[in-house]
Amino acid sequence: MAEEKQEFNQLVRLCGADIDGNRKLYHALRKIRGVSYSFSNAICQTSKLGHGKKIGMLTDEELKKIEDILTNPLKYDIPSWMLNRRKDYDEGTDKHIISTDVRFKVDFDIKRLKKIKAYKGIRHGLGLPVRGQKTRSHFRTGKTVGVKKKSGVKKGKV
């Protein structure tokens, strides 16, 4: 029996992200922007590669399968509640976005909120907290940082 010697890749390029080949598959998928722990777990189970296999040991076919699962998760019966872009504003469909598309979509959503002058858009524009946090003790920037003392008041005897 002839054993095939597998080639180990120190650096793996997957969906626009450079991943260290020594990382296990489950943790390596987390290095891709837009992939959460639960989505990474779903990919490991759908591809039937296991969590513990190092990503540098995967073949090109296995990497292509993982990339296909990342780009078309609904085709592989991953539930729609696990996707990060449900009922998209433009198309109205459920989809999962990864890598640079995540930043692009978030920036576009914030610009849209500012344009229609929604409450969240106004808060983003002013640099204030958007999700209902208090501003008294946090989000102090500019002149409000620290404690101002009155000028001309001396310490000591009154």
> How many independent structural domains does the chain possess?
2
Residues 15, 78 within the same domain:
yes
Q: Label residue 1 by pLDDT band (50, 70, 90).
A: very low
Q: Which of 147, 42, 146 is nearest to 30 (CA)?
A: 42
Q: Which of 60, 57, 63, 23 is nearest to 43 (CA)?
A: 63
Residues 23, 74 within the same domain:
yes
149 within domain boundaries: no
125 within domain boundaries: yes
Q: How many CB atoms lie within 10 A of CB 36?
A: 12
150 within domain boundaries: no
Domain housing 118: 100-132
Residues 77, 15 within the same domain:
yes
148 within domain boundaries: no
Residues 73, 107 within the same domain:
no
Looking at the DSSP assignment, which residues form a beta bridge with residue 11?
Answer: 20
Helix/strand/coil for 19: strand
Residues 21, 53 within the same domain:
yes
Mean pLDDT in residue range 81-109: 90
Residues 51, 105 within the same domain:
no
pTM over 0.95? The answer is no
52 within domain boundaries: yes
- Give the type of residue at 156: G
Residue 40 burial by Cβ neighbours in a 10 Å radius (0-12, 13-18, 19+): buried
Instruction: Specify the CATH number for the domain of residue 29.
Output: 1.10.8.50
User: Which region among 106-110, 131-135, 152-156 has the lowest average model confidence (pLDDT)?
Assistant: 152-156
60 within domain boundaries: yes
Q: Is the pLDDT of residue 82 over 70?
A: yes
70 within domain boundaries: yes
Summarize pLDDT for 50-72 with one digit per residue, the tens: 888 899 888 889 999 999 999 99
Using CA atoms, how far apart are residues 75 and 1, in angstroms rounded to an integer?
38
110 within domain boundaries: yes
Residues 67, 127 within the same domain:
no
